[in-house]
Structures are given as C-alpha cells and as structure tokens.
Chains A and B, each alone.
Chain A
Amino acid sequence: MNRRGFLGRLMSSAALGISAILSRKVPGWAAIAHEPAKSYGMGVDVDKCIGCGRCMAACKTENNVRPEPYFFRTWVERYVIKKDGDVIVHTISGSSEQPIEEARERDVLRSFFVPKLCNHCAHPPCVQVCPVGATFQTADGGVVIVDEERCIGCRYCIQACPYGARYLNPETKTADKCTFCYQRITRGLLPACVEVCPTQARIFGDLKSGASPLTRFTRMGKIHVLKGHLNTEPKVLYTNLDGEVR
C-alpha cells in the first residue's frame, strides 16, 4: 500500500466513524436519512377552473379573512386575451354577480381563469427578508407561515413576495398569508379551497409521497410554475397554464 492509498483509507474510515457517532448523538439525523419530511404542495388545473369563486369564499370563512375585496389568501384571476393582442386581467369578485364583459365576445381570442395563492416556495424570499425571523417554513411540510406574535408589521415580506400573496391584516397589524389551512391539514383534512372546489381544479397533497393525488397530478400533466426564473421553487404547480399568465 502506498502512502496516498493509506491516507485515503484513513480519512474515509474517520469520516464513517464521525458520521456514525453523530447519527447516534443527534436524534434527527438518522430519521432524516430514512424518512424524508413531508413537502406539501398544490396542483392547479387551469382547464378545470370555472371561476365560481367558491375557493375564495371558503378561504375567507375558514381563516377569518376580512370580507373587503382586497384581502385575499387565495384569489382567482380572469384572463381575457383579445384578437388584437390586448390582455385584460382582473381578479374576480367571488360573489354570484356576473363579471363585467370588458370585451365583446367576437373580439376575444381566448379566455380562462387562473386560481392563485401563496406558492409556499422552497426558497421563499419573504422568509429571507424578515428582519425578526417571524416568518418561517414549518419543519413538517415546508409550509410558510407567519408568527403573528413576533411579526412587527414592517411589510418587507409583502414587498419581497414576487406573487403578491401577502397582505397586512388590519386587525392584528401583522403580515398574513395562506397557510395551506395548516389547522386543517394537521387534522388530516383538505385545505378549505380544495374541499369546496366543485371541479377538482385544485389538488392538495404531499409532493414526496409516492401515493398522494398530487404526485399523480405531477405525473399525468405537463407542469409549470409561476415565475420559475426567480428560482424560488414554488410548490404550487400548474397544468394547462397559458403563456400569458404572469
């Protein structure tokens, strides 16, 4: 055995020994190695959304979001793409009233609804910018939530979110956002918006589970995410997404 070989074997056996000791000392390590933590995500099939706004209403009820039409944890945008190239986007009201026809039907090239919500990014810019560490990803599921007892209401995260998914709760004066209905998913229920969606346009599940409906969704469709170039790694996945959607 030459010197290089001897040193190499020495180093690798030392590394093995250290990792063995560490995995016994730190209880989390061994568990992580064998059973990956959950990673909750949502699938949205744009072709199935009928723009009824039941998700928006259910979200407001479930999470006590203010009724005014500028506080949303989830919302639905209506895209109208006209033959002359104009794109009209507006957030639907969510009530049964008919949306205003901005374009005559013969001028419309195509039109559709896009449900939106917090993307629960794997690399969330909002978490990075929080000066007091009040927003974080949960250990189980990677859900981005706000600790309302630590949030100082500086609105930095609202500015940093590229998806506009956060708002300032006027009652608590803290940042507020979609939690995937954390109180429901920890009880084994679906998020309220997924529960009430009449056309299964929204699918909820664990991205790391082999059997979750979401895994099937990712296998069957061509998946897009919003603003993928920002490398935020969104966990809200879209199929049949139009190129005009920002």
Chain B
Amino acid sequence: MKRALYLLDKGRRQMTKFTQRFPDAALRILIVAVALIGGVLLLRSTLPPSLKSRKIQVAAATEREAARPIKYAGVPACAECHDAQYNLKKDGYHRNVSCETCHGPGAAHVANPMEVKPPAPRDRQFCPTCHAYNLSRPLGFPQISPVTHNPLQPCITCHEPHDPKPPAVPGECRACHGEIDRIKAVSPHALLDCTSCHVTPEEHKVNPRSVRPGKPTSRDFCGQCHRTDSGVPNVPKIDISTHGEKYLCWQCHYPHMPEVHGQEVER
C-alpha cells in the first residue's frame, strides 16, 4: 500500500514536471494539430475517389459528353435506303449539300423509319434561305429575287432540288429573243416552250424577217388551260365565253409575263 502511494506520488510529481516543461499553450496547439491532421486523413480515406481524383472527373465528363445522343445521321445513313435520290444528287450541283441540310435532322428517322418522317420543304420559303439575293453572298453563287422570280409557284415546280440545273448557253429561240426569254424564265409560263404557242417554220431561222412565226389566233388556244372546265390544275380559270368580248387574250394579257393573282400554290 505504502509502495503504491509512493509510486502514485512519484507519478504525479513527474507529470507536474512534464507539464511545467511543456506549457499549456503548446499542448493546445499539439491537440489542434493532431485533430486537424487526423480529420483530413479520415476525410481522405472516406471520400469516394470520384470526388478526389481530377483524372476520374475529367474522364467522366469526357465520357458524358461523348455519350450524348446525336440528332443528325449523316449522308451515308441516308444513302443506305434512298438510292434513287442519292444517285440523282451525287453528280449534280447539290452533290455536296447534305440531305439533312434541307430535310432536317434524320437520326430519329434512321432509328425508326416508319414512324418518324423527316420533312421535305416544298414551299417557296425554304430555297431562298440560300438562293435569295444578298449582297454579302459570294459572287457566282446562284441567287434570285424571291419577289419577281415566278411569283407564288413553289421552287420545285421548275427545279429538281436533287439535281438543279444552271442557266444554259443561249440557243434556239433564246439566241435572238433573249429579252423575252429572260422575262418568261421567271414567269408562271416558264415551263412552256416558245413553240407551244408560236408555230415556227424552220425557215424563220434563216430568213427571220420574211418568214414569221405564228401567234395564237383564237381565244380557245389560251382556253386549253385557262377555260373554266379545262381540268388543268393550279392554273387561273376564266369563263372565256363571256370574258374579254371580241378581243384575243394576248391583246390584254402579256403572255410572256402574265399577271399573278391569289395565294401561293400548294404542292
């Protein structure tokens, strides 16, 4: 017992000596430092690696970005099924225009060809996106004025969008009658040949002044398309038995640029 008390007393004396040697402030700093380092070590060991490693974060973000769904399928995907259009387009002036430039994103259509149908722009609004005149566009790029260029008719009436044709070298009637041809080319009558109204003897090319081409001599000629019961679609109709009295149609209407009334034609 005595021995135990002695040891206790000795211990207390040694402890006092230690605390005297080690001041209170230093002890506190030591405790705080141990707590801090321990805390950091504990946190580091418990945190998931995805929060700690920059390499993992970068890899995850890269993967997430790469895994996003695509909307545009690309030309090879279109060509797999649509041979006809692809072959028509591949040698034409639109050969480098991607299918999806006009038809819109097609990945959904590739995934589900029956349910999802990409649109085909058929109205007059779409083609002028590229082909309307704009002074900033490069020289030589084919441009038109949407206001005067065959008004109200959809572009695809005259132009095959998969194989558009540039203006050709003047020949035949256009070689001499260029002004009329340029007017007619942007009019509703653009698709009519000169010879569908003018009966032109071959001799006219040799002796243009002495051998003249014909002009329609009756109202029934224009009536083939324009009379009320002609059955020709998308053509303005008139009752020719009462309209215009004794005059021929072309005495009032200029056939190379007939006036345009009404709404844009649907196609």
- Whether B136 lies near A192 (C-beta < 8 A) is no
Contact of B105 among A58, A96, A112, A147 (CB under 8 A): A58
- Return chain A residues, CB-CB under 8 Å to B68: 63, 182-183
Q: Which of A99, A111, A112, A189 has the most CB of B within 10 A?
A: A189
**Interface assignment of B250: CB less than 8 Å from any CB of chain A:** no
**Interface assignment of B69: CB less than 8 Å from any CB of chain A:** yes
Distance from A211 Cβ to chain B, minimum over Cβ atoms (Å): 19
Q: Give the complex CA separation of A96 and B94 in angstroms.
A: 19
Identify which of residues 97-155 in chain B touch chain A, using a CB-to-CB cut-off of 8 Å. Answer: 97-98, 100-101, 104-105, 125-126, 128-130, 132, 134-138, 141
**Interface assignment of A87: CB less than 8 Å from any CB of chain B:** no
- Return chain A residues, CB-CB under 8 Å to B138: 47-50, 112
Interface pick from B53-61, B209-217, B221-229: B53-61
Q: How many residues of A contact B (CB 8 A)?
A: 50
Contact A99/B134 with A145-B61, A150-B57, A195-B100 known, Cβ cut-off 8 Å: yes
Closest to B129 in A: A96
- Whether A179 lies near B65 (C-beta < 8 A) is yes
- Return chain A residues, CB-CB under 8 Å to B101: 54, 196-198
- Return chain B residues, CB-CB under 8 Å to A37: none
Query: Chain B: interface residue count, which band?
Result: 35 or more
Contact of B125 among A96, A113, A198 (CB under 8 A): A96
**Interface assignment of A172: CB less than 8 Å from any CB of chain B:** no
**Interface assignment of A61: CB less than 8 Å from any CB of chain B:** yes
- Whether A182 lies near B74 (C-beta < 8 A) is no
- Whether A54 lies near B70 (C-beta < 8 A) is no
**Interface assignment of A212: CB less than 8 Å from any CB of chain B:** no
Contact A183/B54 with A111-B136, A150-B61, A195-B74 known, Cβ cut-off 8 Å: no
Distance from A241 Cβ to chain B, minimum over Cβ atoms (Å): 14
Please give 4 more A-B residue pairs, beta carbons under 8 A apart, in addition to A101-B135, A148-B61, A196-B72.
A50-B138, A61-B72, A145-B65, A189-B72
